[in-house]
Structure 1
Amino acid sequence: MQESKELLNTVQSLAKIQINQNLETYRYDVLNILYEKLGFKSSLFWLVDDQKNLVNPILFNIEESLIREYFQYFQKHDPLHPKNIKHTQAIQSITNNVSEKEYLNSDYHNLFMSKYNVRDEMAIYIQVDNVYAGVIGLLRENDELNFNQNDYTKLNFLIQMIENGFIFNLQSTALARSPLTTLTNREEEIVIEIAKGKKNYEIARQLFISENTVKKHLQNLFQKFEARNRIELLYKISNIKSSITSNF
């Protein structure tokens, strides 16, 4: 009964941050909720680049020196690194990928995890369009128990909600950084007329402005979107809109 209440509270808290509009804030808030509601004390939330490299971690109760050393020497030995995992399930522990004996005898355990008092690790893999886009790493210290089936069940219940929020905030962040958001009302009107195939003098007449003003707005548009001509401008605007909205 208590665990059901914990999960319900966690779901409610995750629901409140689904539309943060900012991916960095969202990632931190997820880790904070996992700590406050479920007791996952030490964690980090990575992004994954196109080559499956872990980048830009958000840390929660984890020393920065651990991350520096991980980047420099040990990430290639991490059984839960996206490049090293052997299975596709969304939630995995170390022993999903190596035997306990192999792990305990490894340099990763003896020279790295033990040094930082880390007993066990579990990872939540977040995908966008079937491609890894984020990883939440959960750590247990030596004075805590190893992760167990109960932990897996809880996280498996929450993964879809976390992933949906990640996708929404990823898209919102991309939109906020897009040149689309810098368009003035007049530039939007000119883009609409360009899409209709109208020439400069026709646009000027339609919008009650001079042809020189149209040319000036076009130059600004070409600069914002790094386009050389009208066709390329429309193509780039279309691609940006498509990439932002494709997951909705």
Structure 2
Amino acid sequence: MSSEETQDSPFRHEQTARDEAPQFVLPLVVRIERNEPPARTDALETAARAVLVLLSDERALGEGEWAQAVHDWQDARIRKVVRRARGAEWRRAEALPGITVTGKSAEVRVFPPVPLDGWPKDLARLQVSGTDLDDPERPADPDGTAPVLWLSPDLDMSAGKAMAQAGHGAQLAWWELPEADRTAWREAGFPLAVRTADPLRWEQLVTSGLPLVRDAGFTEIAPGSCTVVADHPALRPDRRGPV
């Protein structure tokens, strides 16, 4: 059974009693300067790594200062919202508690979860729209040794939406990994790739048993849409190679 199909999965699209609990959201802010926007794929990969960095941070674990917020967030729907900032907006965002993760061209800051209606002022004022980004050249094919977050070829998502979905996929992989594989991934710096699958590969991936994200349908796409398959080598059914 795929991860999103389990009754307790926060990525479910049907309503359950847990939806009556207070809802939290994980804020991510991508730096998009007017004259130097990041490449789309790098922004997606950096956002996915940012989610993993926060989940594995000591402040989010045990008795850490963010642990209760992370627990409350993961005990409901796993909402992530990506906003954009530049200049002074970015500097104000950096002054808030969080972690900045840097890619080749992208900078993404992830913050501890906040109540759905309780965003810090300097984050609440940031725009969600305007995160449409491009790749200056076609990303290289993944080599099959590092995890790949495969995006659905059937959905047209803004860069911000795709960043959130990539984060969902990374999080599902993290949850399913044995502790030894988590440690190895973390110590390696969370290498990963984000790519859009071709239609035939996508058909194979969604039935492969790998972690699969179904979107709740709050923005852009229909509820229950399959958005990402997390193809981590340690989670492949035969552990011998890519699907």
Note whether the superposition's TM-score is higher than 0.5: no
- TM-score (normalizing by structure 1): 0.25
- TM-score (normalizing by structure 2): 0.26
Question: Larger % of helix: which?
Answer: 1
* RCO comparison, higher one (Cα < 8 Å, 6+): 2
Q: Which has the larger radius of gyration?
A: 1
